[in-house]
Amino acid sequence: MSLARASPNCGPRRDGLRPHLIVLHYTAMASCAAAVERLCDPDAQVSAHYFVTRTGEVLQLVEEADRAWHAGAGSWGGRGDVNSRSIGIELDNDGASPFAEPLMAALERLLPGIMGRWGIPPEGVIGHSDMAPGRKSDPGRLFDWRRLARAGLSVWPSPEAEVPEVDDAAFVRLAAQFGYDPRYGTDLVLEAFRQRFRPQAEEPLGPADMAAIADLSARYPVDRVAGNA
């Protein structure tokens, strides 16, 4: 795929790093055109490798080998500089509406190629909110992570997982084994976790949260992802 439009907001990956993550975002902007303009505006200092429109068009803005400026401060699996460790994909969505079917179908076509080229497993596909709890909320509670998991493009907890005792410290420890930064603490990690895996939940930490994170951390420990071993 050739660049549809080259964003200046990129550079070389640092320290010889290669992508082992894919980070999904939403634009939270009113129109596709406005989002592309911002992603290509040197004053904005933000970009992504790909932009997927709500009508299903895929625009490449930065070469995959380069470091796009999409992630900002945060970490996953105890590693910072997520920009140097990832491919960023912006999704054309206002943050308050369901994601359009053509967009989701286009994303399902785009992800396998990226994952194959860089050896990124399904557990390496994360949300912006996963790596920056409290600072970022995209792609948000309306994004269909379960659909991606059914297609083998992300992960989802087993509904038959055993339920550990509810305990704040244990939750944070298990979440860190999956990839979340424990320094954010229980409340922010739980919020980020629920945005992705339990979007309807609002109650205090409970058995369903413990079962889901215990299952994810056991089946998808973050040290299996390249760059975190």
Catalytic residue positions?
90
Helix (H) or strand (E) holding 32: helix 32-39
d(C-alpha 146, C-alpha 60), whole Å:
25
In angstroms and rounded to an integer, the radius of gyration of the C-alpha atoms of the chain is 17
Pull the structure tokens for residue 135. 């600072």
Peptide bond into 139 cis (omega under 30): yes
* Strand spans (E) along 83-219: 86-91, 125-127
Dihedral sign computed on CA atoms, order 16, 113, 33, 63: positive
